Structure 1
């Protein structure tokens, strides 16, 4: 999967009935279905039951079971409420009889109101001056575990450029935050806001949990830690240009009890706050 068109083909669902849809899977180098895929497909299912005058403004979700890459996923939508300004949907994702994921999503009729946002960090390096994941693989590939190499080698419709390069030979704890630029591989294509929100949700499951490992980097890594998304919430604030770089600025308030809690803001290059994300994930030391 190299292009945004291919990504959208994965996120678009086959209609089974007015409230039931089916999706297929695509590997991103993980042994189970990528959480961002199920998140974005669930939004697609919910949007299929919403009138065009309403946009997604928030979602809250739980990952209940690992998704099997070899099995299709069925998405059942429940209409919880259609009010004068807001619509609420519940989406249940299943493989066979097993529920693997649940999501609640709220849609809002577009309105004008007060405006405020938290500013983006002022000292962030621009993406043109940074190395991509592929550049880092070329530079440090000889020192990385094979699982990480395999993960980084998978073709993706997104380019990632961390603002800080971590040398894998330096086994030391790092600050509990990260700033990562990302850009979708598209060429002046036109997308609806609903499609852009689905793509943004998809990419929001990258980097957020792994940042929780930073503070434990002297002893914790992918090879000795079982990691999985447990829940994921997201709030959408403003429209954005999908053709330019976006910044995912993440911090980790707490790791405790084999779980890590991360939160992040997504900004445009100009500093416009597009969305906020929170996630708690499993970080279980392997024994």
Structure 2
């Protein structure tokens, strides 16, 4: 049983189906409960999972429109051993736009608020500024979990353990040689895909899984300009808010490039932005996140 008395969500195994993460059961009108969870460190819920499931709950109440933007606030850490309920408020349905507000709760206590807007879609201007920075193909980049770092390379060990925590994802980190030194440009690029998403042809499911992967290794980009010893586990990090603008549909079972950078940190917080592109370079989504950063300055 979950902490709230409901049946605890099942854990998705390493060979599991990621599309199950965004499947919900209806408990009453515009109220839903998750069926599956993925445990993060210390039995915490991964923020990307809660965002994806909240977006799925909102999408259940909208027909014929796709989400074009969402803004989430992380309020409390969630437990992977308890179910999450989602309450959807149908804020507005206009001629071409629908707005929804979702509250995610455990034990009747909010752990996340999500505001999202859906658009019917229409013809208009279109452009994309091309990238001039070459990126190696994902097949040419070694799997970081196959590396065997020295015992003193705690930062690299931390990244490997982080990647291994997410068996539903296939990840190739670009510029792995920069992982063990401060990076004044505060940027990280990685290829990422969700192989089991091949089980769905629903564009909404793939969009929700884009939201799921958008929280992966994002906050840590704010630590890259600083001494490696502060990266993990000597800095406490917690995502505060998370925003995504969806530009184009995609399939997440194919490789997506996540290009992230951190323009600034200060006052105990860091801001990180990311661009998610497909293999052809099309911009799929733009992500912004602010995170709480509390380094252990005693070492």
**TM-score, normalising length: structure 2:** 0.87
| Inter-partner Cα distance in structure 1 for 2:251 and 2:106 | 35
For the aligned residue pairs, the C-alpha RMSD in angstroms reads 2.1
1:139 aligned counterpart, secondary structure: coil
1:216 aligned counterpart, secondary structure: coil
Cα distance, 1:167 vs. partner?
A: 6.3
Cα distance, 1:49 vs. partner?
A: 0.4
Aligned partners of 1:29 and 1:150 also within 8 Å: no
Match of 1:64 among 75, 81, 87: 75
1:258-277 equivalence runs, <5 A? 258-277=268-287
Match of 1:280 among 290, 293, 296: 290
Report Cα offsets for 1:207-243 as digits up to 9, x if no partner: 2111111011344121210011110000111122333
1:215 aligned counterpart, secondary structure: coil
| Inter-partner Cα distance in structure 1 for 2:251 and 2:128 | 18
| Inter-partner Cα distance in structure 2 for 1:35 and 1:254 | 22
2:131 aligned counterpart, secondary structure: coil
| Inter-partner Cα distance in structure 1 for 2:48 and 2:195 | 17
Change (3 A) 1:149 1:219: closer
Match of 1:248 among 235, 247, 258: 258
Aligned partners of 1:173 and 1:218 also within 8 Å: no
Aligned residue in 2 for 1:32: 44
Aligned residue in 1 for 2:93: 82
Any gaps of 5 or more consecutive residues in structure 1?
A: none
Aligned residue in 1 for 2:122: 111
Report Cα offsets for 1:142-200 as digits up to 9, x if no partner: 433676554333352211111111466x4544431111111221385442110000110
Aligned partners of 2:163 and 2:171 also within 8 Å: no
Any gaps of 5 or more consecutive residues in structure 2?
A: 1-12
1:186 aligned counterpart, secondary structure: helix
| Inter-partner Cα distance in structure 1 for 2:42 and 2:177 | 22
1:177-256 equivalence runs, <5 A? 177-186=187-196, 188-256=198-266
Aligned partners of 2:47 and 2:215 also within 8 Å: yes
Cα distance, 1:100 vs. partner?
A: 0.6
Query: Is 1:140 matched up with 2:149?
Result: yes
Aligned partners of 2:144 and 2:160 also within 8 Å: no
Cα distance, 1:18 vs. partner?
A: 1.7
Change (3 A) 1:141 1:84: farther
| Inter-partner Cα distance in structure 2 for 1:202 and 1:49 | 20
Cα distance, 1:244 vs. partner?
A: 2.1
| Inter-partner Cα distance in structure 1 for 2:150 and 2:111 | 34
Report Cα offsets for 1:14-68 as digits up to 9, x if no partner: 11012100114211445411000000000110011001x1001000010001112
Cα distance, 1:126 vs. partner?
A: 1.3
Q: How many residues align?
A: 282
Change (3 A) 1:108 1:208: same
Change (3 A) 1:270 1:67: same
| Inter-partner Cα distance in structure 2 for 1:141 and 1:206 | 25
